[in-house]
Amino acid sequence: MDRRQLFQKLTQIDLAEDKKQAIPLGAGLNKYSGQWNYSTAAHLLRRAMFGPTHEQIKQAVTDGLDVTIAKLFTPTSLSTKPLHYTDIADPYVKKGETWVGQKYALGVQGLNQTRDNSLFSWIFQNIMNEGVSITEKMMLFWHNHFVVSEIFLANISYDYLTTIRKNVLGDFKQMTKDISINGAMLLYLNGNTNTNRAPNENYARELMELFTLGKGDLAGPGDYTTYTEQDILAIAKVLTGWITPQNRSTDSNGIASVLPTVAFNPNLHDASTKILSHRFTNAQISNDGANEYNNLIEIIFKKREAATFICTKLYRYFVYYNIDETIQADIIEGMADKLIANNFNVGIVLKELLSSDHFYSNEAFGALIRSPYDWAFNTMKALRMEVPSDYITAYNLFISIYRTLISQSQAYFDLPNVAGWPAYYQEPVFHEIWINSISYPLRYTMGQNIVNKRIGYRLNGQGNNNFGADVAEYALGFDTPENASLLVDQVVAHLLPQAITQAQKDFLKSKLLGPLTDAQWTNTWNTFKADPNRTQNRTAVEARLRPFLVSLTTMPEYQLS
């Protein structure tokens, strides 16, 4: 059998076999009681955070499951705010200071872009600097849930992130209330033009369909089981009156500026009593002005679907996309029970899910296709890319990486539509959408650039292209890097979710050795270890580690987590 035939035999999907496999979980959300080892710890950290290092995984093995979960869910706070980092003259913000809360001067060429870029870079910096924590993964989850896109007002976008972060591991109901009157959302789904004179139902519809209950089967004209068209019209009225005033002003120097905020204008609010459909037992919402949206969210969250819908999304994000009847009954419904019992505290439910037997079962292990962000941050963080200490360099570098990832179809504040990234909702392929004949070559190129330390940016015509993984430092973290076979084994365990074949390991080892023998590699390594600051020694090991790591990060297995 030649290579091609072999390949075809292997990739032919036997549906009947798949069916047999896909069944029982039994244990459901019971706590995982199996062995706790490097493989399980790596699985947990890969899913729950961006780019766990070998050292972090080893620590998690020592800590055990409960302590690691506690660490992941320890609330974090950010020590920085996004800074003005370019030479563009901002009348209200000096270079090196934050623009958060500061007026935005009109008519300054490039100012809007520089603030937006600063925000995106700052987000990337937060992800890169994060240790063992689930926070940034959850920030991305919520961004994909409460989608806003292309806001182009950095202050408003920043406020949105603050709103999300406030309950990032906590109260989903409160977050829904907050986001309903958040400036970015009011702009994105036209809540700010939703008035008693002319309701705009855009937000009301998505609030039901995409943010809380989900759309059920069509049960009758305009009746989607979970809610009806009548409800959308009524809910749009409840949400009337919220506006985003620009607060335009002109200072003593004649500079015009804006500082958009959120306000409630009672004159634009529909003061009538809103009547919901039988899907909400014909509940009535009487006029309550600026507090009315809270009453609405309370009514929506009395429905069980408010819990099952978000649990389904959490499951798809952290475990796997396929939800059959057994998973629905054993896992999703169990999560929903827990969520309702804990006043919609998402953190409690996630801790249980990530500690469950099911999460460590064969159904979950290695089955998640990495999103572009997960793939890129894993490659940079796990391979010990250093974050430049100088913020200007860091911001320029991160905005360049941000742009690279746009072409792989994932970007903060640039989502394809209000439903978020199709990988999290598009039947039947889901996560497979991330991998296609456009994205795979882009991952290959980016992986090469990270491993070969060739990512960078251009500034004032100057190229600065020497950022990326520190592969020598990376290898130093392992126990016996001087032994080529053992190094391959350990790197494979660190970076790939499941075991690979001996032939695959041999291939990777051949990439590591290149023209060297095992003994020559040992020598090369030991020479480096003896004097790691000598450039020549470092270059010699890097020259061998790089082809090995490029091969490994290009493997289909590395696209999985």
Partner 1 sequence: MKRRSFLQTSAALSAPILINGIPINAVARNSFLDFVNPDNDKILVLIQLSGGSDGLNCVLPLDQYSNLDKARNKIIIKESLGLKLSDKTALHPSMSDVKSLYDSGNLSLIHSVGYPNQNRSHFRSTDIWTSGSAADKVITTGWLGRYYDSMHPSYPTGYPNSSNPDPLAITVGGGVSQTCQGPVVNFSLAINNPDILAPIPESEINTSIPNTNYGKELRYIMTTLQQYNDYSDVIKNGYGLGGGTIPATGNALLDRLNIVAQLINGGMKTKVYVVNLNGFDTHSNQCDPDDHELGTQADLLSQLSGAMKGFQDLLIKYNLDKRVIGMTFSEFGRRIKANDSTGTDHGSAAPLFLFGSCIKGGMIGQNPTISDNVGNDEGVAMQNDFRSVYASLLIDWFQLDSSLVKQLLYEDFQKLPIIEGCVTTSILEDSQRDFSLNLSSSPNPADQYTILSFDTKDEFIRIKLYDSIGSEIKEVYSGNVGQGHHELRLDTSSLHPGNYVVRISSRTAQMTKLLSVLN
Q: Are 316 and 424 in contact (CB under 8 A)?
A: yes
Shortest distance, position 415 Cβ to partner 1, whole Å: 12
**Pairwise CA distance, residues 330 & 357, whole Å:** 11
User: Two tokens at 434?
Assistant: 């991330």
Question: CB of residue 107 vs partner 1: minimum separation in angstroms?
Answer: 21
Using CA atoms, how far apart are residues 67 and 531, in angstroms rounded to an integer? 37
**Judged by CB, which is closer to partner 1: 143, or 511?**
511
The only residue of 86, 182, 378, 559 in contact with partner 1, by rule CB under 8 A: 559
Among 2, 79, 107, 217, which residue sits at the site for partner 1 (rule: CB under 8 A)? Answer: 217
Which one among 27, 233, 340, 516 touches partner 1, defined by CB under 8 A?
233
The piece of 124-132, 185-193, 244-252, 471-479 that touches partner 1 (CB under 8 A) is: 185-193
| Contact pick of 23, 67, 70, 218 for partner 1 (by CB under 8 A) | 218
Q: Which of 445, 294, 312, 429 is nearest to 376 (CA)?
A: 445
CA 485, CA 266: separation in Å to the nearest integer?
72
> Does residue number 514 form part of the binding site for partner 1 (CB under 8 A)?
no
Q: How near is the Cβ of 279 to partner 1 at its closest, in Å? A: 16
Contact 492, 525 (CB under 8 A): no
Q: Which of 229, 470 has the CB closer to partner 1? A: 229
Q: Does 515 bind partner 1 (CB under 8 A)?
A: no
C-beta closer to partner 1: residue 345 or 410 = 410
- Where does 355-410 have alpha helices with state H? 372-382, 391-406
| Encoded tokens for 152 | 């182009």
Q: Which is nearer to partner 1, 80 or 190 (CB)?
A: 190
Question: Rounded CA gap, 348 and 394, in Å?
Answer: 35
Closest CB to partner 1 among 426 and 522? 426
265 binds partner 1 per the rule CB under 8 A: no
Respond yes or no on whether the N-terminal peptide bond of residue 372 is cis (omega within 30° of 0): no
Q: Which of residues 34-73 bind partner 1 (CB under 8 A)?
A: none
| Smallest distance, partner 1 to C-beta of residue 91, A | 29
24 contributes a contact to partner 1 by CB under 8 A: no
User: In this chain, which of 2, 14, 533, 536 binds partner 1, going by CB under 8 A?
Assistant: 14
Find the shortest distance in angstroms from Cβ 330 to partner 1: 14
Task: Name the residue nearer to partner 1 (CB basis): 169 or 435.
Answer: 435
User: Considering only residues 532-551, where is the footprint of partner 1 by CB under 8 A?
Assistant: 551
144 binds partner 1 (CB under 8 A): no
Element at 503 (helix H, strand E): helix 502-513
Residue 245, interface with partner 1 (CB under 8 A)? no
3-state secondary structure 84-107: CCCCCCECCECCCCECCCCCEECC
Contacting partner 1 (CB under 8 A), which of 139, 179, 369, 541? 369
> What stretch of H or E contains 264?
strand 263-264
Residue of the chain from 171, 229, 337, 518 that contacts partner 1 (CB under 8 A):
229
| Using rule CB under 8 A, residue 231 touches partner 1 | no
User: CB under 8 A: which stretch of 11-19, 168-176, 390-398, 452-460 binds partner 1?
Assistant: 11-19
Interacting residues of 312 by C-beta distance below 8 A, sequence separation 6+: 214, 323, 332
CB of 213 to partner 1, least distance (A): 12
CB of 233 to partner 1, least distance (A): 7
List binders of partner 1 among 390-449 (CB under 8 A): 409, 416-419, 422, 425-429, 431-433, 435-438, 440-441, 444
125-128: list long-range contacts, CB under 8 Å, 24+ apart.
Answer: 125/80, 125/387, 125/394, 125/395, 125/398, 126/78, 127/50, 127/373, 127/377, 128/377, 128/380, 128/381, 128/385, 128/387, 128/398
CA 70 to chain centre: 20
Q: In the window 480-509, what residues touch partner 1 (CB under 8 A)?
A: 497-498, 500-501, 503-504, 506-508
Question: The tokens 């999460």 sit on which residue?
Answer: 359
Nearer Cβ to partner 1 (130/206): 206
Check residue 329 for interaction with partner 1 (CB under 8 A).
no
SS3 sequence of 95-152: CCCECCCCCEECCCCCHHHHHHHHHHHHHHHHHHHCCCCCHHHHHHHHHHHCCCCCCC
**Interacting stretch for partner 1, rule CB under 8 A, among 96-104, 119-127, 152-160, 365-373?**
365-373
Instruction: List Cα–Cα distances, 196 to 238, 245, 265, 500, in angstroms.
Output: 9, 17, 11, 62
What token pair was written down for 193?
A: 């033009």
Position among 88, 323, 340, 459 found at the interface with partner 1 (CB under 8 A)? 323
Report the distance separating Cα 233 and Cα 228, nearest Å: 9
Closest distance to partner 1 from the beta carbon of 471 (Å): 18
CA angle 347, 426, 381 (to 5 degrees): 50
- Pattern of binders to partner 1 over 196-215, x per CB under 8 A? -xxxxxx--x---x----xx
Residues 77-116 within binding reach of partner 1 (CB under 8 A): none
Contact status, residue 554 vs residue 548, Cβ threshold 8 Å = no
Site mask for partner 1 (CB under 8 A), range 292-321, x = bound = ----------------x---x-------x-
Of 466, 468, 476, which Cα lies nearest the Cα of 538?
Answer: 476
Structure-block tokens of residue 386: 């250093």
